[in-house]
Structures are given as C-alpha cells and as structure tokens.
Amino acid sequence: MIDANMPHKRRISESLATEERLLTAVLTLWANTSSAEISVRAVASEADVAVSAIDYHFGKLEHLYGAAQARAFALADQWLQARLVLTSALEGQNLGAHGIACAISSIIDDWAEAQRPLAMARREASAMARDGRDAQSHILWTALWRDFWTRMSGILGVPQQSETVAAFCAGEVTQHLLRWKRPLDQALLGETVKAFVDQILGERIGASMVRQAYSELAEREYRGSIDIDEQAPAALDAAAADLLKERGLSALTFRAVADRAATTLGHASYHFGSKTRMLQRAFDQLYRTASEGGSELGEWGRDAVLEAVLRAVVGGSNPILRAFDEVIAHIARSEDHLPLRGIIRGYRDPAASWALAGLLSSPASPSPALAAAFSSLCRGIDHLALALEPQEAERLGRAVLEQFVSPDEVPRSRGDLR
C-alpha cells in the first residue's frame, strides 16, 4: 500500500536535514572565526544550502546563532554529565594534590581539544555577551560550568574550593585553546594546574621548569617571526595598541591607526604591510607595556591589592585585560598567528606576579607557574562575572581571590624565585 503521507514525510525529513546542516555549519565556523566575521553566504556555503534557507528555517542569522548555541549547550551538558559519571569512581579517595591536578588537567585538555567546537561555542557566547548581542547564552553556559565544577570538586575532595576551581578552569581553558606545540602545551597545562591545586591545598609550590623552557622557546620563535625593529619609531605601533585597548579588534584598520598617529594611510600601510602584522605589532606593544610597568601594586598593603584586583576583574576597569582576551580568542582561530600563541601561553605576567606577592604578603616573587595560575583565575572571574548580577559577581570575585590571601601573621614565600 502506498503511504499517502510519504511526500509530506520526505519534506519534513529534508527540512530537518537542512536545519541540521546549518547548525553544524555555524558550530564549525565558530571553531575558526567569530560570529562578527561570519557572513550569511559563508554559513550557506559551509552547509551547502541556498542562502535563502537561513531565512526560511530560522528567520535571520541571529536566530540561527541562538539555535546553534542551544545545540552546543545541549551537547556540552551531555559531555559534562558523562565526565561526572566517569570520575565518580574517584569520590572518597585520598587523591592528594597530584591526583586532583591530573583529573582537572585531563578534563581541561579533553574539553579544549576533543570538544573544541563546543569549547569555541562557549567562548563565542562570552564574546557575544560582552558585545551586548546575546547575554542569555552566556548566562546559561556560566550556570552549567559552575554547576559542573561544584559537583566535580565534591568528587575530587575539594568541595569548599568549588567556586575557585570553576573560575580557574574557565580562565585556563582559554589559554589551552591556543594550540602551539601540543606536547609542550599539555606539559605547561599540567604544571600550571598543579601549582593552582598546591596553592588551594596549602602545599609547597614547585619549580616552574616547564614554563621557563616553554617561554624561552616561544620568545625566540616569536621574535624571529615578526622582525621587530627596536630602533624604529613606535608611534604607529602605539596607536595600534591604543585602538586595540580602547575599541577592540574591529577598530584596528590601517586608516584608523593612521588617523590616531596623525600620519598618512600610505605610511601606515607601508609600516605594517598586512593586518596580521599590525595585530602582531599592536599586541607586542601592549605586551611590552605590561612587562615594563612598575611594581607599585606589589608594594601596596594586602587589602588594597585585593580591592584593586577585584575592581579590575569584576568591574572591567582594566582595558588591557579585555584587549588581551579579544586577541586570545582571535588568534586561537587563525593559523596566521601561530608564533603569537606560544608567546601568550608562556607569557610571564608581571602584574599577576606583583598582585600575587601582595596578596600572599610575600617579599619574594611567586613561582611563575603560580603567577600564571593566578592570571587564569582572574581571567576566569572576569568571564563568569559577565553573566552575574553585580552584587553576586563581586561576592564571587572576593570569595575566589581570598583563596590567595595569606593572613598577615603568616606571611608565605612560595616557589622558585627566578
């Protein structure tokens, strides 16, 4: 017997298949570029459908983005729940700092590598919320992330530190999405996570041997790739850095930089040569500025340092942090910036070191690995706070940062002092 509904069923099946291709296309594109740089034609081409299919199935591109976020969120929820089941055998075991660090490193590495499209979708949700385009997706992702790490922290035996663990992992994932040299990336991740776990458990912080070797190699390759002329006038580079810091990556054009530096478009085009090189030199300028800054923050009292860091990571008063975050998201998706990935991953953040020394009430410089962990912690607070009401964001930031505060009567000097 012929099914009279067969043509209708076929049309439904074809419609669902088209929708599926469009959703998959967006997730694939997000892994390689931001939504701000994706066109309707790019999505249609990736999905191998007509441009009109986007309007037909979703109304407009923004609705497709929302559906793609919902799809990524559902898949991520399944993956995270499966990780809880797989690690439940560890509950009640005395894992120690090494075991806890191994478990956290494994989850971060698997999320950033094997689940990269989902990780980048979460990253994109954060960027869209920061731009005021779709706050709800980021709110949902943040709630999911915090819930997962609350439950995982219980399994690993550190339930009291669950908010600190969630913030640290949120920041460290953004670093691990920067692929440079995978075996070294994994080693650096493991060392950084171990320093973080040692800190929250009150253990001694070990030497930062991986970070030292990693940063030295990255520095050599990076400097060789961009051929910075140390004697060249820095007006154009400074103008590019200022635009990046003040207005974001989209404002970084030859004409805008030329106008800021009060020079000609031809001069700016000749100086940079390409958009890639302009971004490299702008970041290099910001990198040098941060590296050469004074150590006044570390000379403040412990409470003053805590309040300054809290204002920077919760109140958004530090534009360099936002500029770095946007650059990290951009270069994680572009092979044009491979050497820059290594330099950022191995970056020794002087501001983090000074702030951490102040919080620990220590006259000595903290371990570079611990400083890197603290930098990831601050970045994670910034990402999570974006999804919270101001009062809750401040409470979270303060509670997390206080995990890194030493009582005045028990000053601590941690780690290798190189």
The CATH number of residue 64's host domain is 1.10.357
309 and 378 co-located in one domain: yes
Q: pLDDT > 90: what percent of the chain?
A: 46
Query: What is the band of 140 on the pLDDT scale with cuts at 50, 70, 90?
Result: very high
Q: Does any domain span residue 1?
A: no
* Greater pLDDT, 122 or 292: 122
From the list 183, 180, 195, the residue with the least C-alpha distance to 343 is 180
DSSP for 22-36, written as a single string:
HHHHHHHHHTTS-GG
- The string of pLDDT tens digits covering residues 204-222 is 888 899 999 999 999 888 7
- From 157, 187, 222, give the residue that closes a domain: 157
What does the mean pLDDT of the chain come to? 84
Q: Does any domain span residue 124?
A: yes
Low-confidence winner among 231-235, 247-251, 346-350, 364-368 (lowest mean pLDDT): 231-235
- The string of pLDDT tens digits covering residues 262-305 is 999 998 888 888 877 888 788 778 766 665 544 455 467 788 88
Number of separate domains in the chain: 2
Q: Does any domain span residue 411?
A: no
The CATH number of residue 253's host domain is 1.10.357.10
216 and 147 co-located in one domain: no
345 and 280 co-located in one domain: yes
Q: pLDDT > 70: what percent of the chain?
A: 87
Q: Does any domain span residue 222?
A: yes
* Greater pLDDT, 371 or 276: 371
- From 157, 175, 191, give the residue that closes a domain: 157
Which domain range does residue 264 map to? Answer: 209-404
Backbone Cα Rg of the chain: 23
Both tokens of residue 342? 């290594």
Question: What is the mean pLDDT of the segment spanning 405-414?
Answer: 48
- The string of pLDDT tens digits covering residues 60-89 is 888 999 999 999 999 999 999 999 999 999
DSSP 366: P
Q: Does any domain span residue 174?
A: no
- The string of pLDDT tens digits covering residues 186-208 is 999 999 999 999 999 999 888 89
The per-residue pLDDT for 396 is 95
* Greater pLDDT, 413 or 372: 372
Measure Cα distances from 68 to 140, 183, 294, 358, 383 in Å: 14, 32, 45, 43, 20
The per-residue pLDDT for 409 is 36
User: How far apart are alpha carbons 2 and 258 in whole angstroms?
Assistant: 71
* Residue 254 and residue 290 in contact, taking contact as beta carbons nearer than 8 Å: no
Q: Does any domain span residue 196?
A: no
Question: What is the mean pLDDT of the segment spanning 225-243?
Answer: 72
The per-residue pLDDT for 223 is 75
